[in-house]
Structure 1
């Protein structure tokens, strides 16, 4: 797809709706997010009648903190603000979003980070460097940045916004580079960039992000000292999948069912909690996209129904898959009655018109 080719507004709606659906399915009102066993989740899914039988709606399938904060990002991007004003607005919306966290289980780093924001003060969207801010809380809310800046020529804007929004709560490279990965992969989905090339593209973009971070002069020594874990883990992953050249074919274990995926995903992760960190939430989402092809059922099996932080991997995987494939193959109950559905659609349509310079079709 050339940089000038216009996607459909339906692809934007699908990206935002299926992101929220992936979140709610992976979360299942805390039951599945905190389940350590993919096989157990699949057994419970079968007891519910399978994916097609699930009506994702309140009270049983609320969205988690992931979608609430993803909406906060999207609505700031749709505000018409730029530069410092946009960063202040993002910070304000994250603080406001944290008031909507009953039964949504926000992470401790997001709670701490938003408590340190000083909305309205000069530079008040910056918080201190945090050597423990390794989590996925920035990665799970940044996909819409890729919808807002989908063109290749907009890569500097995507890098800047994903890094700056990420370090408003996760001021550590492993945290905010996760924000970059989720935004970049969503832009790649809009561009129809071949999936096999996404990982190599991320590594190339991390070099641009490093230059940007150094240019800001914010915590330079701390950032550089902590920088290498994220790209080195991604290089390792791409070697595991035969994707270090971006050509493939992607190589998976011969047996790769729910039990085996739990074991493999733990090798991606920190502290054996798959999807919990900035590097491995987008990594598991990418793994699921590679494996699932155009099957929503397979995407959910791999990206949402695994042991670990399954809503955060699901919110990323669902957004990218929706941008690629739309909703036609998805059971309508999985997305038609979502919590905040109208707000999600409005955000998607405004992102589309903001990104592509015209009203929705």
Structure 2
């Protein structure tokens, strides 16, 4: 449960949660149409400044990718974990794993299977049933004969993978406001190894969650980075993630922001590079628009770096700071808003929603079994 706050504090928290999920989706959609293009091609196709807004991807403007899809299913899993806790059960990685399996079904099915009782409302959103260049580790970790096995730190899925698919979906763990930062990191790690088992992959996800958590609590991005570095120091295999975060801080001090400085941090295909680029762009952003455009105009995984940066800037400034014209065209905006508000409701009023005196509506939205 989140702390008892004034109405103004509750409204601020809701705005930051909405901002994190919508901002991440906007960054995802800005990068979706140029994800595989080198910077030279981006500038040739869209002008010397690169993209300055949405460009068509998957048949329309404002389209999101697997980054947003998986982020939404992460939230769905976290809500169900809290519903289950009210019944005396508590193991969030299990509920998040089940949520990711429901996401995997959206990548192979034409639409929701109405015979399934576990889908909940999110699993019945037909627009989510679309392949948007899903990462290979996410797909392999959630399909085949080993799909139902829960990856753990002792026996992770894809033990050699540190792809960015573990980072771009990790912002929701940072939205668990009442948690201590070390527990936020641990939960993000335990849910990362469901698909990505390399220490850099899961520790980069944990670090990202801690930075989001710091920002949602009212801190700065830089304070979040410093806290993440302190928590990483005790973790085996933290060196690549820590070095990437320090490189992001050094790039801030190196001079004027530019795509060339972004390129010095990598291309974003692997976890620590996506984290470093997203963090750097959030740190140097004059505003949300400038930060997001810097985060996507580079040679590499533009949608994932946009997702990381957008999640941070949205959490930092709240939903009202997001550019209205980008919000207006964003695919799935209503779904994202609903899920953000449901997370806040569950964390603040869960007992009223599924306690002994509550009706069945909430448990039908978020069934556990």
Q: Which of the five TM-score ranges fits, normalised by the shorter chain? A: 0.7 to 0.9
1:318 and 1:9 mapped to 2: Cα distance? 16
Alpha-carbon offset, residue 160 of structure 1: 2.3
Contact 2:265 2:277 in 1 (8 A): yes
Q: 1:292·1:299 contact (CA, 8 Å) conserved in 2?
A: yes
Residues 117 and 144 of structure 1, relative CA distance in 2, 3 Å threshold: farther
Distance verdict in 2 for CA 1:96–1:199, change over 3 Å: same
CA contact (8 A) 2:51 2:293 kept: no
Aligned counterparts of 1:35 and 1:106: Cα–Cα separation in 2: 17
**Equivalence for 1:228:** 239
Which of 14, 17, 25 is the equivalent residue of 1:9?
A: 14
Distance 1:53 1:175 in 2: 29
Contact 1:150 1:188 in 2 (8 A): no
Q: What is the aligned partner in structure 2 of residue 245 from structure 1? A: none
Asked if 1 retains the 8 angstrom alpha-carbon contact of 2:50 and 2:297, the reply is no
- Kept after mapping to 2: 8 A contact 1:286/1:317: yes
Alpha-carbon distance in 2 for matches of 1:116, 1:163: 23
Partner of 1:81: 84
What is the CA–CA distance in structure 2 between the aligned matches of 1:194 and 1:227, rounded to whole Å? 22
Distance 1:3 1:289, change over 3 A: farther
Matched, 1:323 2:334: no
Aligned mates of 2:54, 2:147 — CA distance in 1: 44
Within a 5 Å distance, the mapping from 1:161-172 to structure 2 comes to 161-172=187-198
Alignment of 1:106-185 (within 5 A): 106-115=134-143, 124-126=150-152, 128=156, 130-147=158-175, 149-151=176-178, 154-185=180-211
Corresponding residue number in structure 1 for 2:23: 18
1:35 to 23, 28, 37: 37
SS in 1 for 2:343: helix
* Secondary structure of the corresponding residue to residue 265 of structure 1: coil
User: 1:23–1:67: 8 Å Cα contact kept in structure 2?
Assistant: yes
1:334 aligns with 2:321: no
Instruction: Provide the rounded CA distance (Å) in 2 between the counterparts of 1:107 and 1:319.
Output: 19
Going from structure 1 to structure 2, the CA distance change for 1:109 and 1:50 (only over 3 Å counts) comes to closer
2:102 is matched with 96
Once the two structures are TM-superposed, the CA of residue 129 in structure 1 deviates from its matched residue by 5.8
Spell out, residue by residue over 1:252-277, the C-alpha distance to the aligned partner (whole angstroms, 9 max, x if none).
335x433x2353233xxxxxxx1111
Measured against aligned partners, the alpha-carbon deviations of 1:195-235 in whole angstroms (never above 9, x if no partner) come to 33232211112145x2xxxxxxxxxxxxx4x4433224434
Change in Cα spacing, 1:41 to 1:22, as seen in structure 2 (3 Å) is same
Select between 81-90 and 68-77 the one with higher mean Cα deviation: 81-90
Off by >6 Å, runs of 4+ in structure 1: 47-50, 53-58
| TM alignment of 1:285-324, pairs within 5 A | 285-293=278-286, 295-324=287-316
Instruction: Give ranges in structure 2 of 5+ residues lacking alignment.
Output: 108-129, 353-369
Contact 1:17 1:344 in 2 (8 A): yes
Aligned position for 2:63: 62
Match of 1:192 in 2: 218
TM-score w.r.t. structure 2 length?
A: 0.75
Please say if residues 119 and 125 of structure 1, whose CA atoms lie closer than 8 Å, have aligned partners that are also in contact: no
- How far does the alpha carbon of each residue in 1:167-219 deviate from its partner, in whole angstroms, 9 at most, with x for none? 100111111112112211211221121233232211112145x2xxxxxxxxx
C-alpha distance in 2, partners of 1:98/1:55? 25
1:41 Cα shift? 2.6
